[in-house]
Amino acid sequence: MERDISNGLLYLQDYPKLWKWINRCPACGSLGHKPELPESLPQSAAPGNIRKYFPCMPLTENGLCEQCHQSTAVKPQSLNRDAPPESN
């Protein structure tokens, strides 16, 4: 299922309180819904709509999406611009 993030952003503009259910990776900017998003909320279609527009995207303990976490596992200093360069 392909999701339309641009329509999801428009949806969140109309319902800004729903941002609490969205994760954003600080490294790549990817958006996805939090895994703890409930299946339903009383008198609300929000969970279904959020799932329609955004994939499930858990963040690692470092706050990164899985793809960025995997790529930084090889080079942990890649996100720390203040760190000195690695010496060989």
Rounded to two decimals, the pTM is: 0.75
Tell me the per-residue pLDDT of 37-82, one tens digit each, with 9 for 90 and over.
999 888 899 999 999 999 999 999 999 999 999 987 655 555 555 5
- Residue 84: pLDDT band (50, 70, 90) is low
pLDDT tens digits along 5-33: 899 999 999 999 999 999 999 999 999 99
Reported residue count of the chain is: 88
Contacts 24+ apart (CB under 8 A), 33-42: 33/57, 34/58
Q: Between residues 86 and 68, which one has the greater pLDDT?
A: 68
